[in-house]
Amino acid sequence: MSISIKGLDKIYPNGNHALKNINLEIPTGMFGLLGPNGAGKSTLMRILVALMEPTAGKVDVFGYDLMKDRKKVRSLLGYLPQDFRFFAKYKTHEFLDYAARLSGMNNTRKRKQAVDAMLESVGLFDVRERYANKLSGGMKRRLGIAQALIHNPKVVIVDEPTTGLDPEERIRFRNLLSEISENEVTIILSTHIVGDISSSCKCMALINKGEVSFYGAPQDMLREAEGKVWRIQVSADELHEVDKRYPVIATIPSGTGWEVQVVANEIKGYDAKPYPPNLEHAYVYHMESRLNLWTNG
């Protein structure tokens, strides 16, 4: 295990109970932390990178205690926060050089080599002379990951990295993360976008209202939702009724009415056909079943 989290609790000074007894084992490779806004993901990330102390609990990073060996743990970690910004005065390569200096790379020649190699691997070498704050959204995110990786950390934590990116940039960024995770680097990817949790995440956790509601492989999350997703053919009048009774995932015009996709353990009173779940369906299933929001018919 690269990170072991036991009994983690965070209560903010204003009384917000953001994390409630979080227990997670994060293996090496790509780990997805999925949950809606306000679930507690950023709070957990900030604790993991030692920017904030938990109210209770214990975190081990490669055997080092986060609270006792903060300096050592920090050296093992790279972090790309959600709202990463660049100073206007730095060109792309100057910014990365600055990040490398901050991480303690004092030898100018070696630092230049490391910066060039990193720019190459994140696909920014050709734009290295451009001012960092003038890069496109996707390029900025890639420069963000480059600064998180420049000191060769064993774990990289990325918080909502694809928010605001267009689909092409999003795919490119996801592929970049997969490539990085192949080089023995653990990546913790925190996101509210189900599509970010791709097949490259061997393991994932679903977090909601400060609690873990699923932990395991994405395929297991899918399997648990099998037989719980339904397709119902309804008239326009019935649509409202179905919407009130079941969590609706999709509504598609069909003939004179609608085809509605819903999650439920069983459907009563409608002609429902089972539908093979995708990860988005499974996400809704787990969120809803945890909250017990739906009625069973």
50: tokens are: 């030692």
Distance separating alpha carbons of residues 293 and 290, to the nearest angstrom = 8
According to the binding rule CB under 6 A, does residue 14 interact with ligand ADP?
Answer: yes
User: What's the order of all strands across the beta sheet hosting 3-11?
Assistant: 17-26, 3-11, 56-61, 64-65
- Binding residues for ligand ADP, total number by CB under 6 A: 12
- Give the one residue of 2, 28, 42, 181 binding ligand ADP; rule: CB under 6 A: 42
Per-residue x/- mask for ligand ADP, residues 15 to 34, rule CB under 6 A? -x-x----------------
- Residue closer to ligand ADP by CB (options 211, 224) is 211
Among 35, 153, 247, 277, binds ligand ADP (CB under 6 A): 35
Residue 227: how many other CB atoms lie within 10 Å: 13
Sheet with 257-263, side-by-side order of all strands: 248-254, 257-263, 229-234, 272-274
Residue 137: CB minimum distance to ligand ADP, A: 20
Distance CA 7, CA 88 (A): 42
**Binder among 37, 106, 107, 256 for ligand ADP (CB under 6 A):** 37
Of 214, 235, 167, nearest in space to 195 by CA: 167
Should residue 40 be labelled a site residue for ligand ADP when binding is judged by CB under 6 A?
yes
Minimum CB–partner distance for residue 4 and ligand ADP (Å) = 20
12 binds ligand ADP (CB under 6 A): yes
Contact set with ligand ADP (CB under 6 A): 12, 14, 16, 18, 35, 37-43
